[in-house]
Chain A
Amino acid sequence: MTVLNRRTVLQGVGVAALTAAAGTGFRAFAQERTAIRIGYAISKTGANAAGAGITTLPNYLLWVDDVNKAGGIQLKSGKYPIEVVEYDDRSSVEEAVRAVERLATQDKVDFILPTWGTGPNLAMGPTFDKFGYPQLAATAVTDLAPEMAKRWKRSFWFLGGGHDYADALVQLLAKQRDAGTINNKVAIVSVADGFGIDLSKAATPAFTAAGFELVYDKSYPLGTADFAPILNEVAGLGADSFVAFSYPPDTFALTQQAVVANFNPKVFYCGVGTAFPVFPKIAGANHDGVMGVGGIDPDSQALADYFARHKALIGEEPDSWASAITYVTLQVLQQAIERVGDVDRDAVSAEIASGEFDTLIGKVKLEDQQLRSLWTVGQWQGGKFVGLMHTDGRAGRAPVIPKPAWVAAQ
């Protein structure tokens, strides 16, 4: 009689698994193409999960759904659906880099989509470059973009740099001041982390150069939850414009606490998070008139359709800054692949760099591997986060200044 002990069983299982794995491996080589394989590592857990879960992952899912519903991506040899390989990078840059390596060398996917955030996108650059994959960075705000584009020929930067956003804000406020709507005093607070440092570094000299008096310009540590001391002090300084280069939790806390403190400046501007669909829910009626980074064209039918599709699939509307841009990167990728008619990554990269694409935000053509057509300052007006300032100088909606006074919560 044979007695199966645990070790024998485990060995058997191991051998079986290996055989199965080898089998699929051989099949992949032997068979014809059945799908276009797209891989990505995304922060599903950890500190970046919230940002990735609002801006990046929903758009990857929506795009895959849209493409597959339409039958797939058209290559010369036929139309193929998208097959996804997904990893969780656990909000760790090292993990994200490793995942890109794994996607390139082991999973041998056709294209790789980047994770969320400026830091991780910069960190993944060399790996994308090393394995020859195009990198379409949709959620990286960096003034280094022109330099990086030169260094990594297949990297594409879609969200501008700190200067774009800071300069546009200063321009907008200077115009309002010259018209006599607001006074000459500005108070700035910024989070002591990537986005806050970048933007305040760009904004401080720009405000000074435009003749503004900075009555308050300080940073606070990442993770600060209590802004009462800052708001109490700023409230007494007589600035008509309050500018916070903040992260989402800070944006929400600053708004709520400014209402409680009854600090009611004519211009209330916050950073990341202002454009999130959750912002009106958190701020209630007080979201109206709050300004922030990003914005959309409220009259675009294409965007309205996209918002509806997003809501139907994900259950939540997209944010009004980087969400649409993320979807645009995917449209650009798809159209470039279809024009090349093959998964030749060098040819696709060349097409992305030089071609003109039909997207959600209209015709898009990259300049020096960068998207230079972005809404930089937005404001909540009538339930939409509308664009006020655009990098190409087109006229946005007129800003509502002073914003409506806060109404006390009950």
Chain B
Amino acid sequence: MLLSALLTGLVLGGTYALIAMGLTLQYGVARIMNLAYGDLIIAASFGAFVLFTAAGLNPLLGLVVVVPAGFALSWLIYRVALQPLVRRARDRAALEADSILATFGLLFVIQGVALVVFGAGFMSYSYLAVPVDLLGVTLAGNRLLAFALAVVFGAGLWLALTRTRWGTAIRAVAAAPASAPLVGIDVDRVARFSFALGGALAAAGGVVISMFLTFTATAGVVYTMKALVVVIMGGVGNLMGALLAGLILGLVETLVATYVDPGLTLAATYAIFLLVLVVRPAGLFGRATR
């Protein structure tokens, strides 16, 4: 029973971590509070849905198409809509307010396009909905895959961030955007790249969750909220933090649903969130700012 709850929780947490990692890059490095993040996830889900139903492409191959598309789209969004805001923003607070307004508008654009093209109905397809037996616990294959992908993306990005030159540049911008230019880092370029990378991760998340969740054109806000909770809990801009916070949330929800009451999962989520914020206001892995 406990093992079953733990594994189910980890698998659920993997999904949370996957959708939150992109936002932590966008918010932590590019300093863009992207309210349209969840809608980008939904857009990617639609992409995977179309590829699967119309072209018969399985979602794993769909990733190859949708993830670069997410990267390109986010790059374009940053270049066209957000860069002017970054240029004219006097300080971080001003940029945050501006980017919230701009991406709030973007949310409705993406949602509107999806409504016109696909309508308001429920979208779903079934892929890899097979029982997988792991240590005597039955898990859904597609959720296990989501967990594996979260780990792969998380570990890959973490290695890239800590072991490569551009990874170091990204971390430098996340840590001290004002000082980064002093050592020859083009903050603008790094921010644009991080935003686009975040978009690519959102797209990956969208493809993965479309395999097992029913989605609608208007469901994006749910994912934005969940991702935001995970990001803030893990420490803004910290990839490992997002991964860990996502797993913790998944575990807590499942343990509460199993041992206490399924009605309290939401309450437990926010209780943990509150606890983390009280004990470590900057998040699990965040560094306190002075």
Q: Of A229, A260, A261, A282, which is within 8 A of B257 by CB?
A: A229
CA distance A316 to B121 in the complex (A): 10
A276 within 8 A of B: yes
Q: Is the CB of B258 within 8 A of A218?
A: no
CA distance A282 to B121 in the complex (A): 13
Q: Is the CB of A278 within 8 A of B124?
A: yes
Q: Is the CB of A44 within 8 A of B129?
A: no
Instruction: Tally chain A residues at the interface, Cβ within 8 Å.
Output: 45
For B94-115 the 0/1 string (1 means CB < 8 A from A) is: 0000000000000010011001
A281: chain B residues within 8 A (beta carbon): 124
B121: chain A residues within 8 A (beta carbon): 50, 53-54, 278, 316
For B253-267 the 0/1 string (1 means CB < 8 A from A) is: 110011001110110
A49 within 8 A of B: yes
A172-221 with Cβ < 8 A to chain B: 189, 192, 218-221
A44: chain B residues within 8 A (beta carbon): 115, 120
Q: Is the CB of A229 within 8 A of B8?
A: yes
Q: Is the CB of B129 within 8 A of A409?
A: yes
Q: Is the CB of A230 within 8 A of B213?
A: no
CA distance A189 to B261 in the complex (A): 11
CA distance A253 to B265 in the complex (A): 17
B12 within 8 A of A: yes
Q: Of B140, B214, B263, which is within 8 A of A219 by CB?
A: B263
Instruction: Tally chain B residues at the interface, Cβ within 8 Å.
Output: 39
CA distance A282 to B261 in the complex (A): 28
A233: chain B residues within 8 A (beta carbon): 258
**B83 CB → nearest A CB, Å:** 26
Q: Is the CB of A223 within 8 A of B138?
A: no
A257: chain B residues within 8 A (beta carbon): 140
CA distance A224 to B131 in the complex (A): 20
Q: Which of B184-192, B195-203, B215-223 contacts A (4 or more CB under 8 A)?
A: B215-223
User: B12: nearest residue on chain A (CB-CB)?
Assistant: A226
Q: Is the CB of B262 within 8 A of A219?
A: yes
A28 within 8 A of B: no
B122 within 8 A of A: yes
A284: chain B residues within 8 A (beta carbon): 126
- A45-B111, A249-B214 known; A218+B263 contact, CB < 8 A: yes
**A202 CB → nearest B CB, Å:** 18
A273: chain B residues within 8 A (beta carbon): 122
CA distance A281 to B116 in the complex (A): 22
User: B222: nearest residue on chain A (CB-CB)?
Assistant: A223
B265: chain A residues within 8 A (beta carbon): 220-221, 224
**A281 CB → nearest B CB, Å:** 8
B119 within 8 A of A: yes
B76 within 8 A of A: no
Q: Of A45, A50, A221, A410, which is within 8 A of B263 by CB?
A: A221
B212 within 8 A of A: yes
CA distance A224 to B111 in the complex (A): 22
Q: Is the CB of B214 within 8 A of A226?
A: no
B155: chain A residues within 8 A (beta carbon): none
CA distance A410 to B58 in the complex (A): 13
Q: Is the CB of B129 within 8 A of A220?
A: no
For A216-260 the 0/1 string (1 means CB < 8 A from B) is: 001111011110111011000000000000001100110011011
User: B255: nearest residue on chain A (CB-CB)?
Assistant: A229
CA distance A282 to B12 in the complex (A): 21
Q: Is the CB of A220 within 8 A of B263?
A: yes
Q: Is the CB of B263 within 8 A of A226?
A: no
A137: chain B residues within 8 A (beta carbon): none
For B121, B253, B254, B266, the residue with the greatest tally of chain A CB atoms inside 10 Å of its CB is B121
CA distance A284 to B125 in the complex (A): 9
Q: Is the CB of A230 within 8 A of B129?
A: no
CA distance A187 to B97 in the complex (A): 48
**A116 CB → nearest B CB, Å:** 10
Q: Is the CB of A226 within 8 A of B126?
A: no
Q: Is the CB of A260 within 8 A of B131?
A: yes
CA distance A273 to B216 in the complex (A): 13
A44-73 with Cβ < 8 A to chain B: 44-47, 49-50, 52-54
7 A-B pairs with the lowest CB-CB distances in the bound complex, closest first = A53-B120, A229-B257, A49-B120, A221-B266, A220-B262, A260-B140, A50-B216
Residues of A within 8 A of B (CB): 44-47, 49-50, 52-54, 91, 189, 192, 218-221, 223-226, 228-230, 232-233, 248-249, 252-253, 256-257, 259-262, 273, 276, 278, 281-282, 284, 316, 408-410
Q: A278-B124, A282-B214 are in contact. List 10 more A-B contacts (CB 8 A).
A: A218-B262, A226-B8, A230-B257, A232-B8, A249-B214, A253-B214, A256-B212, A262-B138, A273-B122, A281-B124
Residues of B within 8 A of A (CB): 4-5, 8, 12, 108, 111-112, 115, 119-122, 124-126, 129-131, 138-141, 143, 212-214, 216-218, 222, 253-254, 257-258, 261-263, 265-266
A-B contact pairs, 17 of them (CB 8 A): A45-B111, A45-B112, A50-B121, A53-B121, A189-B262, A226-B12, A228-B8, A229-B258, A232-B8, A249-B216, A256-B126, A257-B140, A261-B131, A261-B138, A278-B124, A316-B121, A408-B130
